Amino acid sequence: MKQILVPVDFSPASLNALNYAADLARSLKANLVVLHIYQPPSSIYAELPLPPLEIEKSLEEIDKKMQELKRDLAIRTKDEIQIRTETRVGNIRLDIQDLVDQLQPLMVVMASHGAGKMERLLLGSNTIWASKHLICPLVIVPKEAKFKSIARIGLAWNYRPLKDIGPLNKVRELVKEFAASLHVICIMKNASERLSGKLLAEATQFQEEFGDLKPHYSFIVDTDVTKAILEFSEKNKLDMVMVIPAKHDMIERFFHHSQSRDMALHTKWPLLSLHE
């Protein structure tokens, strides 16, 4: 059975990502697994672990929150999907990785921002970690994004050779899973790249790989790749943007570019990151 894994920390951004994942799971007829990892804080005075009774009390409170979430999600999804909650005591990154290895989910859904003060300004460090290390597709949900049917997917692509064809196969699988149209966005920093033999050769191979999907291709000349993707997404009313980032700072730029003075757009598109 298809499963979608959602780590939560109870922050507003995290809960919004959870609601998005629930609606997504319902549309795909997938099970939903909600994960919370509790990391016990150290004693303020002695820098020692909290007493077992304090940890037990915290876990009881977390369990109540998780059960409330499960009830709310059941109502939201009209009991059409199976919802499982799991609470672990441990390390956030290690436990997410462990559960991904165990479940082999269709995708992981995480919020673009975390609960900490610094992570309200910077992309959640755990989300950045996930984009670098999780092999399965990662959907990063902006804090104000709301789910609607995924009918139009954009794939940001610079026609660079990949180490293997796996990510492109995954793109094909997901586009078919969503029954969506695919819009391939090729951003070039100068017009001369458009006529280069290398680009034309790679474009031909790329089109052969995706011929069965009948994708729409757009070649855009812009020195600001992130801005070009956002503007294209707005103009073409995309529901999701896929990237296969060679450098993961692209993911950070995607969510923070809209805050620059010269950018009127607000980042509202979920970003689906595929590990190369």
Question: Which of 180-194, 224-238, 245-259 has the least mean pLDDT?
Answer: 245-259
Higher pLDDT: 268 or 136? It is 136
Using the predicted structure, report yes or no on whether residue 276 has a pLDDT greater than 90.
no
* Position 39 pLDDT exceeds 60: yes
Q: Is the pLDDT of residue 121 over 90?
A: no
> Considering the entire predicted model, what is its pTM?
0.85
Q: Taking residues 49-68, report their average pLDDT.
A: 80
Q: How far apart are CA 244 and CA 276, in angstroms?
A: 6
68 SS3 class: helix
- Sort 75 into a burial class: Cβ within 10 Å, 0-12 / 13-18 / 19+: exposed
CA distance linking residue 208 with residue 46, whole number of Å? 63
Residue 26 scores a pLDDT above 60: yes
When pLDDT is cut at 50, 70 and 90, the band that residue 269 belongs to is confident
Taking residues 234-241, report their average pLDDT.
Answer: 92
Per-residue pLDDT at 259 exceeds 50: no
The average pLDDT across 37-60 equals 66
Question: How far apart, in Å, do the first and last CA atoms of the chain sit?
Answer: 25
pLDDT of residue 132: 84
Write down the mean pLDDT value for the chain: 82
The length of the chain in residues reads: 276
Q: pLDDT-based confidence at 120, cuts 50/70/90?
A: very low
Q: Does position 98 have pLDDT exceeding 50, yes or no?
A: yes
φ/ψ of residue 274, rounded to 5: -110, 130
Render pLDDT for 179-214 as a digit per residue (tens, 0 to 9): 999 999 888 777 666 556 666 676 677 777 778 888
Q: What domains, with CATH codes, occur in the chain?
A: 3-141 (3.40.50.620), 152-266 (3.40.50.620)
Q: Which residue has the tokens 């673009």?
A: 112
Q: Is the pLDDT of residue 160 over 90?
A: no
